[in-house]
Structure 1
């Protein structure tokens, strides 16, 4: 992706912001809508409601969560992209919605690169490779050795070939030079249940989804997908110990329709950063998913999105995933 893509989107939003600056000076003057691509009660929904509580208090305005699930995030993303760019609709976005969908689907009803302007990051969600607690596999090296000894027989549960966990399964197999039996599930809950029950030997999943079973001693984590060890999981090594520079995580952030007044974006970014840097809030978020380091700036998020597009374009090409 050309480096200018998000820069131009941000510049367009800034120019539009000059026209709406008078309106945005007192922003927000009415309730705000935050669109999600996930259903009520989901992990992202819980995160969104957690951070909007203090933001609502700061602004003295309600924040309405609008759940628009389905279509591999496309329904919610399209709704947010087509909303009025007046500073009163924002999108709680995932890596799938803003990056990976671009390389998995030929025809999306929205443009992940051009329809949104960055507001701020919320946090990254690490994934982990886990096995049943009774498994003889104690380490990542054991897992690799077992897969090489029995090509294609080691069953690894994930959420499907075009999900983060499915792509991590394929990437890991490719880079380690092993063959596993990738078993797709319609939900991460079902995948966890079958791995605990021994129907599959292993699972690749986001850390929050397996944390309870790990804590209960039903699953054993072998490695995490981030280059750094995960807080609370310090004894679990990163895959990067075996594959240098292996560093992948899901993530969530806030974006707005292109053309949103710059003053609204700046205020949202500033207050979101303050909320996320609160130690109590960071700990509450970590308990259900993302590791936050604050919102950063909208420019930093734009640069991050550029880098993610470059990386995922190469990843999907390397593991042979073509858009359909």
Structure 2
């Protein structure tokens, strides 16, 4: 999950080219230095998720501490909807003055371009990487009273039922939907993929016996799993997840397979270089706070070791390549 061996190799990776051109083709030059006395007014973090969501809770833990350190309020501005497009577009339009950032998810920065023919923002041209924050694995789950206890048993059961096994997910244009399709492709289980509007509705149906299994965000289902109402068969992390060491990973069956969500902080293209460097250093310092990391882990995501700007940019590029290859494997086409 942590893939520390990869991260340790990242310092030698080159920083990606500056992302300072807007999606409409107009140039926005990066400022060489931060405005005097930055921050001069409250700083805004736009989120594409609603208040109370996992990303929102993580962002607020970070912004509370940064506000105290910077001596200015850090305002979390929630703009959910449109599969992250509403928030991402708003963030791309922020003035590049070092007072606005986007707390982005994998979907907003990496997978949306694979799923949509057109977007009102360009994930690479409209944003500059600032800090990589945390990873959030997904899980393959069954009801707590299910006779299925391992991933191998689920696959065998699906094959024996000839496609009749129902595998819940959040739809074909979502993370869990893509993972469910990949699970079908790699295992040959040919499960019937059942889309749900939300994890909550899906897990209720799973516990009620209306579907046989489900792919969902581990953070969103961890409480029910710890209560014994759900059983985690496997996670989608590259290595076993802290706190879930007894649970196998898909990578143990298919080496190299890793499909996890993550959070990264980015800034509008053209934001002051000195501000970006300052924010990266300050976020790295927070990531070294054991108490904060524990609080974030209680929400679900696991904090990454602090990455500098070059490492952050390299990770985002690696993730684009990873998800592009996986989308090609399962035949995902933008719509």
TM-score when normalising by structure 2: 0.91
Contact conserved, 2:137 with 2:261, CA < 8 A, in 1?
yes
1:52 to 35, 43, 63: 63
- C-alpha displacement of 1:293: 2.1
Contact conserved, 2:31 with 2:272, CA < 8 A, in 1?
yes
Q: CA RMSD in A?
A: 2.0
Residue 17 (structure 1) aligns with: 31
Change (3 A) 1:302 1:103: same
1:8 to 18, 31, 34: 18
> Counterparts of 1:187-266 in structure 2 under 5 Å?
187-266=198-277
Q: Counterpart of 2:18 in 1: which secondary structure?
A: helix
1:317 to 294, 303, 328: 328
Cα distance in 2, alignment partners of residues 22 and 119 from structure 1:
14
Residue 122 (structure 2) aligns with: 111
In structure 2, the gaps of 5 or more residues are 1-12
Deviates more, 1:89-98 or 1:34-43: 34-43
Residue 82 of structure 2 is aligned to residue 68 of structure 1: no
In structure 1, the gaps of 5 or more residues are none
Cα distance in 1, alignment partners of residues 186 and 28 from structure 2:
42
Contact conserved, 2:28 with 2:269, CA < 8 A, in 1?
no
Contact conserved, 1:17 with 1:259, CA < 8 A, in 2?
yes
Residue 88 (structure 1) aligns with: 99
Contact conserved, 2:15 with 2:311, CA < 8 A, in 1?
no
Count of residues in Structure 1 that have an aligned counterpart in Structure 2: 319
Cα distance in 1, alignment partners of residues 228 and 292 from structure 2:
27
Q: Counterpart of 2:19 in 1: which secondary structure?
A: helix
Q: Counterpart of 1:212 in 2: which secondary structure?
A: helix
Contact conserved, 1:7 with 1:302, CA < 8 A, in 2?
no
- C-alpha displacement of 1:289: 2.1
> Counterparts of 1:176-187 in structure 2 under 5 Å?
176-187=187-198
Q: Counterpart of 1:314 in 2: which secondary structure?
A: helix
- C-alpha displacement of 1:17: 2.3
Cα distance in 1, alignment partners of residues 65 and 305 from structure 2:
15
- C-alpha displacement of 1:10: 7.0
Q: Counterpart of 1:267 in 2: which secondary structure?
A: helix
- C-alpha displacement of 1:300: 1.1
Residue 153 (structure 1) aligns with: 164
Residue 313 (structure 2) aligns with: 302
Change (3 A) 1:52 1:65: same
Deviates more, 1:151-160 or 1:82-91: 151-160
- C-alpha displacement of 1:8: 3.0
Contact conserved, 1:39 with 1:69, CA < 8 A, in 2?
yes
Q: Counterpart of 1:246 in 2: which secondary structure?
A: coil
Contact conserved, 1:74 with 1:108, CA < 8 A, in 2?
yes
Contact conserved, 2:20 with 2:30, CA < 8 A, in 1?
no
TM-score when normalising by structure 1: 0.94
1:139 to 131, 138, 150: 150
Residue 43 of structure 2 is aligned to residue 29 of structure 1: no
Change (3 A) 1:5 1:312: farther
Residue 286 (structure 2) aligns with: 275
Cα distance in 2, alignment partners of residues 311 and 10 from structure 1:
24
> Counterparts of 1:282-301 in structure 2 under 5 Å?
282-301=293-312
Residue 10 (structure 2) aligns with: none
Cα distance in 1, alignment partners of residues 211 and 77 from structure 2:
36
1:289-318 deviations in whole A, cap 9, x for unaligned? 211123411211111111111121121121
